[in-house]
């Protein structure tokens, strides 16, 4: 067809080429695409703008936010400013004053790509004022330069972010979540620039204020003085690379990597190489699935680093990541011995407390450091067991533990002088009850219960069903009445982002058995749920304060109850536990009383059925 068209045009004396389907995108659309890579949320725009202020050698940076930055954000600094002649160029794509000699490998500033301002301006109402003049950009439409009262430094205003891109707008979170992300941005930048004053306020109040000072003061402000007192400083140097910072005590671990702040050449990054080095260094000191707290500053020759692989500069690529990881792991491990001194100091405190308690019979104060959970039970609370044990004042070395009896689950019981492995009945025995889940036939692999029902058999995951039973029972007992009061209130210092989360969860915590109160920048705990030990309760609060789930403005009561129950479910029957026939009957009975027992706590099936007809079909009898 194309040949015929060309032939006809040639005969008529008119030469017409084929119509091109490839077109250049408009500048406005190009800017919006760039914005999609750089400006994911208000915090992304805030980061770029504050970094511009730092590149301008600002010593004071003030931030104002409305609705978590979605409605408006204003950043004002006392930096070098922008000349009137450069205002138009400053909002053009790929225009920069920070990249010299066209060398992308010699990066020594933040906003070197020249994309941030035009990208932000393409998806917002943008205003830039400096040295007595300003320019507005309304969704990529530039205004004429106008007079301004800003003579020192620069003021940037961003409003109606994503106002013309509703598809992007709907992906933003609640005001609280977006505000928390902005607070984290300022915290991270404040850590790398302790000599700069930072402040952040909203319509309601000022949420953050950092005065210039030392890095130690800045870390203590952000992470809390209690945590920082147990952190150890370190510094190591290698070829083309040096690392310094603070490693926090292994017992102060967290459930996420949020508290690992990694800075490479003055830029906050998320880097697997550094995170893996931290994991390897701490792996013998913290439980699996937990993460150490650390503030790491890495300086490396820019020629051994590619900082240009991400538009947001949040990732880097090492030229030789293997050698970097090896160097960092050895550097971290080399400083692990410093924690022994801290541990020894706490041991001395415990000895002193014990001596005092022997003199005045006052229960010793528990150290405010997470020691890990170890259940301690009083034998008197298990009369059926106590009656069968010849417990006396002999030392554990002279005590012979009783033989394991059928129909019981092992449970470690600890007294002051005696350490024994005793047994606890699963539940009161009831042999007359006939469960709808059938009659137990056997246990296979010490993990699955096989039962016979009217038209088939059930295969039951003993750990899954008992964990669900335990969780349900705990949740039903997590009320504000079921609490244990502490001898001394526990004070948890809150960083800026944790303060916002604490407001959202406070009422729910108190409904679950906590007695908690926010006092300035701390949360005071005077009671905890009866089901938890003090170490568990404090670690639980630390975890939810650091969780993004609880920064959202949603009903948190059910979520908190479930997470407390999950934490307390460690006494559930495990795989590999041999059960008696009576214990299996008791489990079946409790399954009837537990809603949604068909699913375990992790949403996996807890049992399945093989019908008689399926069996006959498999045996080719049908």
Position with higher pLDDT, 330 vs 396: 330
- Contact of 469 with 601, CB cutoff 8 Å: no
**pLDDT for residue 341 is more than 90:** no
**pLDDT for residue 497 is more than 70:** yes
**Looking at 94-229, which runs of residues are DSSP E strands?**
125-130, 133-138, 141-142, 146-147, 154-159, 197-201, 206-210
pLDDT given at position 318: 86
391/400 Cα distance (integer angstroms): 10
The whole-angstrom distance between residue 208's C-alpha and the CA centroid of its chain comes to 21
- Contact of 153 with 79, CB cutoff 8 Å: yes
Whether residues 580 and 527 share a domain: the answer is: yes
Q: By C-alpha distance, which of 523, 532, 544 is closest to 483?
A: 532
Decide if 169 is inside a domain. yes
Banded model confidence at residue 136, pLDDT cuts 50, 70, 90: very high
pLDDT given at position 381: 33
Whether residues 587 and 622 share a domain: the answer is: yes
pLDDT given at position 314: 66
Decide if 344 is inside a domain. no
Q: Which two tokens stand for residue 210?
A: 């950092």
Whether residues 413 and 445 share a domain: the answer is: no
Q: Which two tokens stand for residue 51?
A: 């970094």
Q: By C-alpha distance, which of 310, 313, 302 is closest to 108?
A: 302
Number of Cβ within a 10 Å radius of residue 229: 10
pLDDT given at position 298: 92
Provide the number of structural domains found in the chain. Answer: 4
Q: By C-alpha distance, which of 316, 302, 298, 305 is closest to 236?
A: 298
pLDDT given at position 352: 42
The SS3 assignment for 494 reads: coil
Whether residues 541 and 600 share a domain: the answer is: yes
Q: What would the DSSP string read from start to end of 428-452?
A: ---SS---TT-EEEEEETTTEEEEE
Mean pLDDT rounded to a whole number for the chain:
77
pLDDT given at position 13: 54
Whether residues 100 and 157 share a domain: the answer is: yes
Phi first, then psi: give them for residue 585, nearest 5 degrees.
-60, -40
pLDDT given at position 197: 97
Q: By C-alpha distance, which of 239, 339, 359, 237 is closest to 294?
A: 339
What lies within 8 Å, CB to CB, of 557 at 6+ separation is 507, 508, 511, 512
Q: Residues of the chain with pLDDT > 90: what percent?
A: 30
Whether residues 410 and 532 share a domain: the answer is: no
pLDDT given at position 477: 80
Banded model confidence at residue 312, pLDDT cuts 50, 70, 90: low
Position with higher pLDDT, 547 vs 249: 249
Tokens 């047994």 appear where? 423
The SS3 assignment for 423 reads: strand
pLDDT given at position 459: 94
Banded model confidence at residue 58, pLDDT cuts 50, 70, 90: very high
pLDDT given at position 247: 95
53/51 Cα distance (integer angstroms): 5
Q: What would the DSSP string read from start to end of 300-311?
A: E-GGGEE--SST
- Contact of 269 with 355, CB cutoff 8 Å: no
What is the number of H-type helices and E-type strands within the chain? 19, 25
Q: Which two tokens stand for residue 259?
A: 């508290």
Whether residues 137 and 76 share a domain: the answer is: yes
What lies within 8 Å, CB to CB, of 92 at 6+ separation is 114, 118
For the chain, give the longest Cα–Cα distance.
117
Q: What would the DSSP string read from start to end of 545-582?
A: HT-GGGGSSS--HHHHHHHHHHHHGGGSPPTT----HH
Whether residues 272 and 127 share a domain: the answer is: no
Q: Residues of the chain with pLDDT > 70: what percent?
A: 71
Q: Mean pLDDT over residues 171-184, rounded?
A: 89
Decide if 361 is inside a domain. no
What lies within 8 Å, CB to CB, of 399 at 6+ separation is 418, 419, 420
Decide if 17 is inside a domain. no
Alpha helix ranges (H) inside 513-556: 534-545
**pLDDT for residue 385 is more than 50:** no
Whether residues 194 and 219 share a domain: the answer is: no
The SS3 assignment for 296 reads: strand
The SS3 assignment for 588 reads: helix
Rg (CA), the chain: 32
- Name the β-bridge partners of 299: 242
Domain boundary among 336, 354, 382: 336
Whether residues 567 and 464 share a domain: the answer is: yes
Number of Cβ within a 10 Å radius of residue 125: 18
Whether residues 516 and 584 share a domain: the answer is: yes
Decide if 352 is inside a domain. no
**pLDDT for residue 593 is more than 60:** yes
Whether residues 332 and 451 share a domain: the answer is: no
Decide if 613 is inside a domain. yes
Q: How do beta strands 260-264 and 294-300 pair?
A: parallel
Alpha helix ranges (H) inside 270-416: 272-282, 321-334, 338-360, 383-386
- CATH number for the domain spanning 81: value is 3.30.565.10
**pLDDT for residue 404 is more than 60:** no
169/614 Cα distance (integer angstroms): 52
525/295 Cα distance (integer angstroms): 28
**pLDDT for residue 419 is more than 50:** no
Least confidently predicted of 418-432, 518-532, 568-582: 418-432
Q: Is 122 left (phi over 0), alpha (psi -120 to 50) or beta?
A: alpha
Banded model confidence at residue 400, pLDDT cuts 50, 70, 90: very low
591/436 Cα distance (integer angstroms): 9
Domain boundary among 336, 355, 387: 336
Decide if 318 is inside a domain. yes
Number of Cβ within a 10 Å radius of residue 161: 27
- Contact of 60 with 196, CB cutoff 8 Å: yes
Q: Mean pLDDT over residues 39-55, rounded?
A: 91
Q: Which domain holds residue 581?
A: 435-622
Banded model confidence at residue 391, pLDDT cuts 50, 70, 90: very low
Percent helix / strand / coil, the chain, rounded to 5: 40, 25, 40
The whole-angstrom distance between residue 233's C-alpha and the CA centroid of its chain comes to 24
492/490 Cα distance (integer angstroms): 7
Phi first, then psi: give them for residue 468, nearest 5 degrees.
-65, -40
What lies within 8 Å, CB to CB, of 224 at 6+ separation is 492, 493, 494, 495
pLDDT given at position 454: 86
| pTM score | 0.60
- Contact of 43 with 181, CB cutoff 8 Å: yes
Number of Cβ within a 10 Å radius of residue 289: 7
Decide if 588 is inside a domain. yes
Domain boundary among 403, 424, 445: 424
Q: Best-predicted range by mean pLDDT among 88-102, 167-181, 350-364, 554-568?
A: 167-181
What lies within 8 Å, CB to CB, of 300 at 6+ separation is 240, 241, 242, 264, 265, 318, 324
Q: Best-predicted range by mean pLDDT among 75-89, 526-540, 570-584?
A: 75-89
**pLDDT for residue 413 is more than 70:** no
Position with higher pLDDT, 45 vs 413: 45
């Amino acid at each position: 067809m194309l040949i015929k068209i060309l032939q006809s045009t040639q005969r008529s004396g008119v030469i017409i080429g084929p119509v091109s389907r490839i077109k250049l995108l408009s500048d406005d659309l190009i800017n919006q695409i760039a914005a999609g890579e750089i400006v994911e949320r208000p915090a992304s725009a805030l980061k770029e703008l504050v970094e511009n202020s730092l590149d301008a050698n600002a010593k004071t940076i003030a931030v104002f936010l409305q609705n978590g930055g979605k409605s408006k954000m204003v950043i004002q600094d006392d930096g070098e400013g922008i000349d009137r002649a450069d205002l138009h160029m400053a909002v053009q794509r790929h225009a920069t004053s920070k990249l010299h000699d066209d060398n992308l490998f010699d990066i020594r500033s933040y906003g070197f790509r020249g994309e941030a301002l035009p990208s932000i301006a393409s998806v917002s109402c943008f205003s830039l004022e400096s040295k007595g003049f300003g320019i507005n950009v309304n969704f990529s439409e530039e205004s004429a330069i106008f007079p301004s009262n800003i003579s020192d430094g620069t003021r940037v205003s961003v409003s109606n972010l994503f106002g013309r891109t509703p598809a992007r707008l709907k992906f933003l979170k609640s005001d609280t979540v977006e505000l928390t992300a902005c607070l984290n941005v300022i915290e991270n930048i404040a850590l790398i620039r302790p000599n700069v004053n930072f402040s952040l306020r909203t319509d309601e109040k000022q949420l953050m204020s950092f005065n210039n000072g030392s890095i130690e003061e800045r870390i203590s402000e952000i992470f809390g003085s209690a945590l920082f007192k147990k952190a150890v400083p370190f510094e190591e140097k290698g070829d083309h690379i040096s690392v310094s910072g603070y490693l926090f005590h292994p017992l102060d671990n967290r459930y996420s990597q949020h508290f690992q702040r990694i800075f490479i050449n003055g830029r906050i990054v998320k880097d697997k190489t550094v995170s893996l080095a931290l994991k390897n260094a701490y792996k013998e000191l913290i439980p699996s699935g937990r993460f150490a707290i650390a503030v790491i500053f890495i300086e490396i020759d820019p020629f051994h680093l590619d900082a240009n692989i991400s538009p947001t500069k949040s990732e880097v690529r090492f030229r030789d990541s293997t050698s970097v990881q090896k160097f960092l792991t050895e550097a971290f491990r080399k400083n692990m011995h410093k924690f022994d001194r801290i541990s020894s100091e706490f041991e001395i405190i415990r000895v002193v407390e014990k001596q005092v308690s022997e003199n005045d019979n006052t229960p010793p104060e528990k150290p405010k450091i997470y020691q890990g959970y170890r259940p301690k039970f009083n034998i008197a609370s298990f009369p059926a067991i106590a009656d069968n044990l010849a417990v006396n004042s002999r030392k554990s070395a002279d005590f012979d533990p009783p033989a394991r009896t059928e129909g019981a689950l092992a449970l470690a019981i600890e007294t002051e002088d005696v350490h024994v492995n005793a047994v606890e009945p699963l539940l009161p025995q009831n042999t007359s009850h006939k469960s709808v889940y059938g009659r137990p036939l056997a246990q296979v692999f010490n993990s699955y219960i096989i039962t016979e029902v009217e038209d088939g058999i059930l295969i039951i995951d003993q750990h899954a069903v008992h964990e669900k039973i335990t969780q349900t029972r705990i949740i039903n007992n997590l009320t504000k009445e079921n609490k244990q009061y502490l001898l001394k209130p526990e004070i948890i210092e809150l960083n800026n982002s944790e303060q916002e989360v604490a407001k959202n969860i406070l009422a729910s915590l108190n409904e679950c058995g906590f007695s908690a109160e926010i006092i300035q920048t701390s949360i005071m705990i005077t009671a905890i749920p009866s089901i938890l030990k003090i170490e568990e309760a404090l670690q639980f609060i630390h975890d939810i304060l650091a969780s993004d789930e609880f920064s959202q403005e949603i009903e948190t009561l059910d979520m908190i109850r479930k997470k407390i129950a999950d934490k307390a479910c460690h006494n559930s029957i495990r795989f590999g536990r041999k059960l008696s026939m009576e214990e299996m009957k008791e489990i079946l009975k409790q399954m009837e009383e537990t809603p949604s027992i068909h699913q375990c706590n992790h949403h996996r099936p807890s049992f399945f059925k093989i019908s008689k007809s399926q069996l006959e079909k498999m045996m080719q009898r049908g």
